[in-house]
Structure 1
Amino acid sequence: MNFPYIIIDDNQESVLKTKAIADGFSELVFVASANNYADGLHLILEHNPKLIFLEIDPADTSTNLSLALINELYRYLKVVPKVIITTSKKELAFDAIQYEVADYLIKPVQRIDFIKFILKIKKTVDEEPSSFVVEKQIFNEPTVPKPELPLNNFEEDKQEETAPIPEETTALETSTFEEPADLETTNSPDEESSSEEDTILHIPKQRLVPISEQPLILCIKSYGDYRYIDARDICYFQADNNSTDIHLNTGEMVTAFKTLKHFEGILSAPFARIHNSYIVNSSYISRIHTGNAVCYIKNTTTKIPFSKSYKENIDAIISDFANGNYLEI
């Protein structure tokens, strides 16, 4: 779980100190810094970070740094980044609370302060409503043509009699059913039985309409942002604490705020868990080295380890390859 951040402080020395502490946390990714209101606003709108470290009581008042910057963000952004106030005055804490800031750190900022606010942010993310949605495949029932049975119902006969006859077929139908006046036609019981059998034999058989299988789409939802991913483009999943990094065949990585176990429970073949930290799409495996206990991903230099506890899944993948169009040399 990564949190890109921007530091806005009129004191460049304070910027460097804050960044030095933040560099000790792998979750925090430095984006940029600014020393005044205008530059800070431009950086936020350009990079849209998740965190902002903001000084609201600058020594240089011409920089215009204040809580007013938060109000300005609401004019342009649907989702405002979490703001962490870094200042030397405790007196401004009450005002900051009115702006719903994520945290209020007193300078000089200490490492333990960072640990606390990171834990609070992670807890907030974990308590949010489900951010992972799987679109279910929808299968329609096959359309079955109705058999054309003889109409015995009086109302149906009536409708058939009153139905208009197309002009081009009137003469043909009339000539077909005309009989000589002196000729009587009588069907024997055997002929009637044969006629019924012919009718039954000519009932159309039910026909199943093939349905093309729709690809599975994963929707990664985060703060109103809906990211749709075709499951066929996913190479593997990698656990990252309480979140999961999804690695695509384009080399891109997308983070979902769900555990790897959550994905294991909802995904099926060709996805298989091979390690406590990895679920792999077997369609992207180019090599399995059982001696070194690693899998190689196609068209990359990536090697994914597999553990003994998931050896059965590796054996199943090897077996699936062998059951396909396969030639072992």
Structure 2
Amino acid sequence: MSHTFIIIDDTQDDVTKTQAIAERFRNLSFLASANTYDDGVNLILEHQPHLVFLEIDPSDKKSNLSLSLINELYRYLTVVPKIIVTTSKKDLAYDALQYEVIDYLLKPLNINDFRKAILKFDRAIKSDLPHMEVKNPVATYEVLDEAEVETLKEDKVDENVNDIEVKATPVTIEKPTVVQQPDQSLVICVKSYGDYRYIDSNDVLYFEADNNSTDIHLNNGEMITAFKTLKHFETVLPPTQFLRIHNSYIINVNQVSRIHTGNTVCYIKNSTTKLPFSKSYKENVDLIISRIAGGNYLEI
């Protein structure tokens, strides 16, 4: 099966290099590329590819490329493409992994790391399928040039060199029966001077800004203060579970019991707490409404 991909990078030379490596894999099919945040979002919404190669630390800051592009996709798409980050710095690796990206590749791209990333992507795509028994191994084919084949022949000292085909070499993974497991909830660690406080994300009702710190309100009535800004939490929290609805609030989508659009208020389950939402975050509120309606839902 061929999987389509888009490249989003502020440098056209890097776009070309990424495309050249990706097109060596027969299961990948190039669609288009973009150099800015807005063009990238529009391309993804238009083509809805399986995979996106994304630069998140551009040399051209006017391109506005960053991890926030992934958040934007969740506003419009039910199924967001798999993301492989391609960048020059290691600094954002931890933040990127919070967005559940497939892999984080450093430039200049290395073919061995790239191959591993594609295999991870292939496995992730298959894990999204319904429960099924996989009877046949899955192969990701990489097209080799003549020079690389000669190198392989030299390394293959104990085997018949004629066994090597010039067109492609299959990398095969034996896969056992796929068994779906329940999703594991995110654990949020609030660290302060050697004190590690672990919080199950399902226990969080909402985050509230308090100057340069953030108060985390839990369903047991407890409040924990983290010395990070609300903007920081907006960047690292998974948008599938947490959305910002106000300059002062990020809400757990799964803890919403009522939304009153006339009064611009969201209500929290099993409590009298109600949080205001602002017009600038109305799209996020609309997204909450659509997500709830997309579940096991009856409207009367």
Q: Does the pair score TM above 0.5?
A: no
When you count helix as a share of all residues, which structure comes out higher? 1
TM-score by length of 2: 0.43
When you count strand as a share of all residues, which structure comes out higher? 2
TM-score by length of 1: 0.40
